[in-house]
Amino acid sequence: MKTAVILCAGKGTKLWPYAQIRNKVMMPVSNKPIVSFAVDSLTQLGFDKIVLVAGPFSDEVRAYFRDCAAVRVLTDDAPKGAAYSLLRAKDDVDEDFLLLYGDTIVDTDDLRRLRDAFLSTRENTALVGAIEDRSSEHIGCTLEDGSVTGIYGHSRDESTHRFAAFALRREIFDALPFNGCRFPSTDVGMMTPVEGYLEITLADEMQRGTPLRCVTAASEFFDIDRPWDILYANTVINKKRCAALTQNELAEGATIDPTAVVKGFVRLGRNTRIGHGVIIEGNLIAGDDCEIVRGAIIGENVVIGNRSKVGNCCYVAPCSTIGSECIVSHAAELDGMILNRVYLYHYMEWNGVIGENTDLGAATVCGSLRFDDSITLQRVKGRREFHNGFGDAVFLGDYCRTGVNAIFMPGVKVGVYSVVGAGVVLTRDVPDNTLIYAEQKLTEKPWGPEKYGW
């Protein structure tokens, strides 16, 4: 088996505000697009034909992988669901294959185990992981004796496991045109959307006598579906990447000032320098041409992109990620993730995610804890969402700005191309392409020495 298909055609509406200007799978985690984790793993496993089926912004996906000879990018102009996006790849797949979702990050060893399990039986096989929260949040399944026994659409309590990836016989293409676009197994009273989920086809094939074997993932996998999923995956992956450092790795021209305190190991790209008075609390990965200078305090397991400047007594919290060409300066505090070309210049505090090309005004701050200590209620497309705590962060879209002293309450989201003006106390989500500002009422009275008895 040397062929894999990665489905990247979803619109990513639940990931708002981060799929407005990009394909969802191109959202970075630990400074790498989500889909690149899958491509890197497949390449490492020897796959020489990797077919990506992309929908919105497919040109962006194609541009990113243009130098990767193994990758071919197809466009699904009118996606009807995963089953029909997979059907788009039929002419490019001439053998049994691995199937991955482009918004899911799966450990390389688990993909190897999935491939090997399939090759030992030549039966359709799913890589699954236990559901640890709410069954109704997932398309899930039940297992028995190494096989999937049932597939359920957001069941209240039926499902025990969820899907991460599949190894499929090529004959699955013959079944895809008969996808009914409605889940046959849903709880009474629940409602299923009309969409061609791949799991509908697999459930139908099971009913027709084709078994679906299963392998349980040994490592955690990440389905990046909502904004807080980005933060959680970034935290875990940063820890994993930095933990792999066992000694300092300095590329040509990289330097560490003798006055810097480095309590772990660092991997520094070309010409990157750690300057006077810097404190590195643990392992660090930084790209090329970075400046980490003038008393910056960097927590453990931090990842920094190329050509970024971090300094002037700023603080970067553990497991945070800084994109390329960013500035984190004068007493700024960052806990979370900022994408490329984000500027945090003056004494601000940020807990969450900031999209590309965004500039925060001085003293922009955000709350991370409610007065009642409870978890912030999140809504996605109008529906209440349960989260693991990362939903208390603030999520600012791409190409945004904030004014001086803007304040963001826990959990708010701001759409792309938007501005939150000076002095605003933001307690709700802001749509794309919106300017929101505070109108101040001023009272003017006479004043002077006579007020003091002169």
d(CA 348, CA 267): 28
Asked if domains 3-225 and 230-436 share a fold, the reply is: no
| Fold exhibited by the domain 3-225 | Spore Coat Polysaccharide Biosynthesis Protein SpsA; Chain A (3.90.550)
Q: Is the pLDDT of residue 306 over 80?
A: yes
pLDDT band at residue 377 under the 50/70/90 scheme: confident
Instruction: Residue 174: count other Cβ atoms within 10 Å of its Cβ.
Output: 11
Task: Identify the CA nearest to 51 among candidates 7, 84, 87, 82.
Answer: 7
The pLDDT tens digits of the residues spanning 219-250 come to 999 999 999 999 999 999 999 999 999 999 99
Rounded mean pLDDT, 16-38? 97
The one-letter amino acid code at 26 reads: M
pLDDT tens column, 395-430: 999 999 999 999 999 999 999 999 999 999 999 999
Whole-model pTM: value is 0.94
| Rounded mean pLDDT, 149-157 | 89
Q: CB–CB of 84/180 below 8 Å?
A: no
Report pLDDT digits (tens) over 71-99.
999 999 888 999 999 999 999 999 999 99
Contact 35, 22 (CB under 8 A): no
Residues near 242 by beta carbon (within 8 Å), at least 6 away in sequence: 264, 282, 283, 284, 285, 300, 301, 302, 303
Strand 407-408 to strand 425-426: parallel, antiparallel, or no bridges (unpaired)? parallel
Q: Exposed, middle or buried, 429 (CB in 10 Å: 0-12/13-18/19+)?
A: middle
Average pLDDT over residues 358-368: 93
With b meaning 16 or more CB within 10 Å and e meaning fewer, what string describes 246-256? Answer: eeeebeeebeb
User: What average pLDDT is seen over the chain?
Assistant: 95
- DSSP letter for each residue of 179-241: --SS-S---TT----S---HHHHHHHHHHTT---EEEE-SS--EE--SHHHHHHHHHHHHHHH
Neighbours of 338 (CB within 10 A): 28
Q: How confident is the model at residue 384 (pLDDT cuts 50, 70, 90)?
A: confident
Residue 5 pLDDT level (bands cut at 50, 70, 90): very high
Residue 234 backbone phi and psi in degrees, to 5: -60, -40
297 in Cβ contact with 311 (< 8 Å): no
Domain ranges of the chain: 3-225, 230-436
In the structure, what pLDDT confidence band is assigned to residue 382 with cuts at 50, 70 and 90? confident
Nearest one of 93, 169, 167, 88 to 127, comparing CA atoms: 167
Q: How many CA atoms lie within 13 A of 210 on its CB side?
A: 16
Per-residue CA distances from 48 to 40, 72, 73, 111, 453 (Å): 11, 10, 14, 15, 89
Q: Nearest-CA neighbor of 426 among 437, 440, 439?
A: 437
Q: Quote the DSSP letter at residue 430.
A: B
Mean pLDDT of 1-20: 96
Beta strands 28-29 and 3-8: pairing type? Answer: unpaired
- 69 is written with which tokens? 């000879």
The answer to whether the CB of 167 falls within 8 A of the CB of 1 is yes
The dihedral through the CA atoms of 99, 101, 107, 108 has a sign that is positive
Q: Which of 140-144, 355-359, 366-370 has the lowest mean pLDDT?
A: 366-370
How sure is the predictor about 45, in pLDDT bands with cuts at 50, 70 and 90? very high
Options 3.40.50.970, 2.160.10.10, 3.40.50.450, 2.60.120.280; CATH for 230-436 is: 2.160.10.10
Q: Is the dihedral of CA 112, 115, 120, 121 positive or negative?
A: positive
